Structures are given as C-alpha cells and as structure tokens.
Structure 1
Amino acid sequence: MPDRVLTVPPERLAAWLAGFTQRHGATTHRAGPDAVVVEAADGAVASCAVPFPPLLPEDAEPYGGLLVHAARERRVGVLLVRRGGYAAGVFHGATLVASKVGSRHVQGRTAAGGQSQQRFARRREKQAREAFEAAADVAARIILPHAAELDAVVTGGDRAAVDHVLADRRLTALAALRDRSAGLPHLAVPDPKQSVLEAAPAAYRAIRISLSEPDVTA
C-alpha cells in the first residue's frame, strides 16, 4: 500500500521528480501505457498514473516520455451536472474557450406521505427531467460542435445525472468520447458554477502519484 497519494500539476512534474531523486538517490523507471513507476536507490517508489492514457513509451525521453505526454495541450470537453445545476465547457490546455452554466429548480425531498408524497415525487421527477433536458441542450450547443477535435470528454457531479444527460440522442458522440476517456477521473464537484467549471483542468490534468517511502526510523 502507498504511504500517501498526491497530485502534481504537469507544469511541476519535472521538478517533483527531480526532488524525489534528490531525497532518495538515483532512480530507475518502468514506463507502461497507464503508469510510470519510478524506483529510487533507498527503496522509495513513486507510481505516476498517466493522464490521458495510454502513454506510448519513448526510451529516449525522460521517464519514458511522461513529461512530454503530461504537458501536452489537449482540447477537452467538460460536462458537470448535479440535480438542478449544470455546466458545459471546452478547454484548450487550461484555457476555457467556450462555456455555459445554468440551473433549474428541483425541489428537495419531503417527509410527507400518502398521495401528497406521490404528487410531490411526480413533480420532482418532472423538474429533474426538465433540468436534464436543459443540460443536454447546453451540451449540444457548447461541446458538441467541437466533438471532432476533442481529445476527451470529462464529466463531474452526480454520475446518474450525467448519464441521464448523455443518454440524449444528440449527444451520442460525446457519450462515446466520455467512454473512451475512462482513464480520467470523474470530478467530485459542488454546484456547477462558473468558478467550479474553470477549476476543472487542475483536477483532470494533474498527475496522480502513489508514493511509498522507506521508514527512516526503522
């Protein structure tokens, strides 16, 4: 088991790996399509998950090409959905080039029973359906025109809500891109506001590193 798991922005990855070598001694690495495992002289191990897998290892490049692969600027569609709120955007690298954020009122749950509860549940389901339809409209308007040039579609928020939105027949291409982006994280986000959308690249571009270090007190 790793001692800890951390995330490192691609811009800081080279410096982090250099620091790992300084702390633990000379390193060797094994590069694969999904991870680059760096082992140090003192037994420390840093397993770096490849962002936007697969990595096509290059022996002539540092760490099998991980630094170049991680730093590459990609065009990514982002769809964030929670019940009643949604955000759609297209990023080039970390730059947001198109976006739309919106919300629809969806009532919370009620403790009422009987027919009153059934009427409330039907009304709530209708509101949620209308919210998902609005989110699908925005995704079709903002992300879909860029589908042919996207490297990935990243989703976040409520998984079931995202699935409802991507089930829209207009969004078949985006759903396929999401499925091919399975190696990327589903973002845990609060209400999908503009600031939350703008912060998304920091999460999906980061390199997740599982770090194991020797116990120097032993």
Structure 2
Amino acid sequence: MPHVLVPTARWERWVDNFVARHGEARLVVDDGGLRGEAEDGSHFSARLPFATTYDGPAEAAAFASAAVAPGEWGVLLVRKGGFAVARLRGTEMAEHKIGQRHVQGRTKAGGQSQQRFARRRDNQARQAYDAAADHAARILPSSGPLVTGGDHPAVEAVLADPRLSGLTVVGPWHAVPDPRRAVLDAVVGDAQALVVEVTNA
C-alpha cells in the first residue's frame, strides 16, 4: 500500500485535515502504531520511524512526541552512479561520505563487443560497490538502525559485506536518484518522519 511521510511537526495539522475531509476520527493504538477511523469509513495507519513500536496514549500529540531519532543510526544510498553514507547521532550528522563512480551505460553494439562491454560494466559496478562498502564499514555505526535507498541490487551488494552484518535495515525504502548531498539531506529528514498509510472510503 502506498504511504506518505509526515514530519512530526506537521502531524497534528495532518490529523486535523484528515478529520476536516472525512469527519470525526476515532484514534486507537493498534499493532504498535496509531490508527484513525473516520465517520465516512476512511482510515489511516501511522507508524513511528526506525521501526519503533508505539504503546502510548491514543493521542496525536503523544504519538508525534514518541518519534525520537536513535542515539546512533546510519543511512546508506547506493546506485550504479554513486553512493552516500552517513552516520547520525540523534538528528545531527556526525560523518558522511558521498562518492560518484563512472559506470558505463548500455551499448547498442552486438556480439562479442557487447559481451566485453557488459563484463567491463559489471566490473565497474562491482568496484563501485566495493568502494561504497569500504566507506560504509568505516563510517556507519557497528550496530543499530540503517535507512537504505537507491537501487535494490546495489544496496544488497554493499550490505553483503560481512563488516556491515550488525546493522538492522529499517523501512521505508527510499527510491532516490544518484546520491548527492541534497539527496542525502532529504533522506535524513524523511527517515525521521511518520510513515502513514491512508485508505479513503
């Protein structure tokens, strides 16, 4: 089901807007999250970031205040064209590294030249992933939540490095273009937002 990311500072207004559109909503704590059920049958299910379970009161303000960034956590974004790695303490970025790698695009050539080209492209991608894994092992905390995004096979290739086995990948997945500083900053913000699924009646 598609989801929206709602910053905690905007959460109470978001709930007010939901009520304005759908009628008074009954809030309940359900399955570690907060669920809202409106008069017209529409409902939403909200979860805290970093796979945190909520067991507080069924109130919008209390739910938002429970969204606290961990003491240490990481971000890993990988695509064939580059990577971004960051270690955070709470909301502050403690260290980061952004790298671009040249991986050739596809060719229209056929036969053996196409096979050579594909091998070269695979080797370039593997070298890029190895470089990303080296920086990730140096920068990321040894354990704790890890927010990921970019290209699924690329991230899986980097996380196959045994040095990163102590990290716990948490959702949601962030589909991003080639990582640059602005992309990394946006994911750091989105990672701390509430994850909300809405079903309109």
Q: TM-score, normalised by structure 2?
A: 0.85
Q: Is this contact kept in 1: 2:15–2:60, CA < 8 A?
A: no
Match of 1:154 in 2: 147
- Please list every run of 5 or more consecutive structure 2 residues that lacks an aligned counterpart in the other structure: none
Q: Distance in 1 between matches of 2:60 and 2:164?
A: 37
Q: Distance in 2 between matches of 1:170 and 1:213?
A: 44
Q: Is this contact kept in 2: 1:31–1:64, CA < 8 A?
A: no
Match of 1:165 in 2: 158
Aligned residues: 200
Match of 1:186 in 2: 173
Among 9, 15, 18, the residue aligned to 2:13:
15
Q: Distance in 1 between matches of 2:155 and 2:200?
A: 38
Match of 2:93 in 1: 96
Q: Distance in 2 between matches of 1:158 and 1:76?
A: 20
Q: Which one has a larger percent strand, Structure 1 or Structure 2?
A: 2
The change in CA–CA distance for 1:118 and 1:45 in structure 2 (over 3 A counts) is closer
1:202 to partner: Cα distance: 2.7
Matched, 1:116 2:121: no
Is the partner of 1:126 in helix, strand or coil? helix
Q: Deviations over 1:29-77 (max 9, x none)?
A: 2212343211234544232233333423123x6259522222x132320
Q: Deviations over 1:104-161 (max 9, x none)?
A: 2111111212221222122111111111110011101111xx224x3x1011111101
Match of 1:199 in 2: 186
Q: Is this contact kept in 2: 1:55–1:66, CA < 8 A?
A: no
Letter in 1 for 2:188: P
Matched, 1:135 2:144: no
Among 62, 70, 73, the residue aligned to 2:69:
73
Matched, 1:84 2:77: no
The change in CA–CA distance for 1:133 and 1:213 in structure 2 (over 3 A counts) is closer
The change in CA–CA distance for 1:110 and 1:56 in structure 2 (over 3 A counts) is same
Q: Is this contact kept in 1: 2:75–2:188, CA < 8 A?
A: no
Q: Distance in 2 between matches of 1:102 and 1:79?
A: 12
1:22 to partner: Cα distance: 5.4
The change in CA–CA distance for 1:10 and 1:93 in structure 2 (over 3 A counts) is farther
Q: Distance in 1 between matches of 2:40 and 2:24?
A: 9
Matched, 1:55 2:53: yes
Q: Distance in 1 between matches of 2:69 and 2:134?
A: 27
Larger Cα Rg: Structure 1 or Structure 2? 1
Q: Higher mean Cα deviation, 188-197 or 107-116? A: 107-116
- Please list every run of 5 or more consecutive structure 1 residues that lacks an aligned counterpart in the other structure: none
The change in CA–CA distance for 1:131 and 1:10 in structure 2 (over 3 A counts) is same
The change in CA–CA distance for 1:185 and 1:90 in structure 2 (over 3 A counts) is same
Q: Is this contact kept in 1: 2:74–2:85, CA < 8 A?
A: yes
Q: Is this contact kept in 1: 2:148–2:174, CA < 8 A?
A: yes
